[in-house]
Amino acid sequence: MADTQTAVQLEHVSRYYTLGESSVRAVDDVSLMIPRGEFLALLGSSGSGKSTLLNLIAGLDRPTSGAILADGQSLAALSPLNLARYRRNTVGMIFQSFNLLPRMTLEENVELPLRLAEVDHSERADRVREALERVRLTHRVGHRPTELSGGEQQRVAIARALVNRPKILLADEPTGNLDSTTGEAILTLLRELQTHLEMTIVMVTHERPLAERFADRLATMGDGKLLGIAPIGEGRAQ
């Protein structure tokens, strides 16, 4: 059972997909405990099941078997509506391709989760500004995503993920579309947020060197299984 120090706990979690007559085990019997405030990197090659595992923690998908506890809630017990609320309030998500809505300005993109959470209009401007300050992008509020660089777009996506003040930040290959310098800058930002906001971060990546520099622990996956988990300790770059 998860205690108050546990952000996410996975117990024998499996996710199978049926393709025709065969069954694909995208996640196969994974058990993992992620303490609060930890920066965990999920490593693995393509098709290893790391993104599927992240989607399960995000509440975007449900496991075929096993239990997921996040912030003290059993996701299996949540109704679709409560699962949506969980995605809205407890977790924030960023993606490799940023997934900003192109017809909205930067500010409006960040405001979107506040609309979904029915946050009062009077409160929204402050919350948006606060989130943009955290990612140091207050000077480009009126711009549209296409007018921003890749790194700036990812920072907008991070601001959007933070605006509802989630406890867990889930990042799916956040540096995948960025050059190495920008990628580093983004991970530095994530590390700062983890420290200042005491957030738990789970990041899927296939870039081991970056993960080793910024994450607290590395979990390696292969063929849907958790192959190993190791702390990085003093090897991390500051």
Partner 1 sequence: MKPRDLTDLAVRNLREAILRNALTTLGVAVGVASLVAMLSLGVGLQQLASKRLSQSGLFDTIFVTPKNSFRGMGRPQREVESDKPPRPLDDDARVELEKLPNVIEVYPQVRFFTEVRFNNKPYATMVAGMPDSSRNTGAFDGMQGSFFSSSAANEAILQIEFAKDLSDKPASLVGQELTLRYAERQAIPPAAGDEPPGAAETSGGFSVVPKELRLKIVGIVETEPAAGYGGYGSARLLMPLQTASTLRAAQVNDLRDIVRGNTSNRITYPALSVRAKSPSQVETLEASIKDLGFNAFSLLDASKSLRTFFSVFDLLLGIFGSLALAVATLGIVNTLVMAILERRREIGVLKALGAADSDVQQLFFVEAGVMGFLGGIFGVVFGWLLGRAITFGTNIYLKRQSLNPIDLSSVPWWLVILALLFAVLVSLGAGLYPASRAAKLNPVDALRYE
Instruction: Write out the residues near partner 1 by the rule CB under 8 A.
Output: 55, 58, 60-61, 80-81, 84-85, 87-89, 93, 95, 99, 101, 103-104, 112-113, 115-118, 160, 164
Cα angle vertex 52, ends 49, 57, to 5°? 125
Neighbour-count burial of 140, counting CB atoms closer than 10 A to its CB (0-12 exposed, 13-18 middle, 19+ buried):
middle
Task: Tell me the closest approach of the beta carbon of residue 158 to partner 1, in angstroms.
Answer: 13
C-beta closer to partner 1: residue 89 or 182: 89
- From CA 57, how far away is CA 48, in angstroms rounded? 16
C-beta closer to partner 1: residue 86 or 216: 86
Task: Tell me the closest approach of the beta carbon of residue 1 to partner 1, in angstroms.
Answer: 26
Task: Tell me the closest approach of the beta carbon of residue 82 to partner 1, in angstroms.
Answer: 9
Which residue's entry shows tokens 């920066």? 39
Mapped onto helix, strand or coil, the DSSP state of residue 173 is coil
Task: Tell me the closest approach of the beta carbon of residue 111 to partner 1, in angstroms.
Answer: 9
> 48, 53, 41: which is closest to 175 by C-alpha?
41
C-beta closer to partner 1: residue 70 or 218: 70
C-beta closer to partner 1: residue 84 or 230: 84
- Residues near 150 by Cβ (< 8 Å), separated by ≥ 6? 98, 177, 178, 179, 182
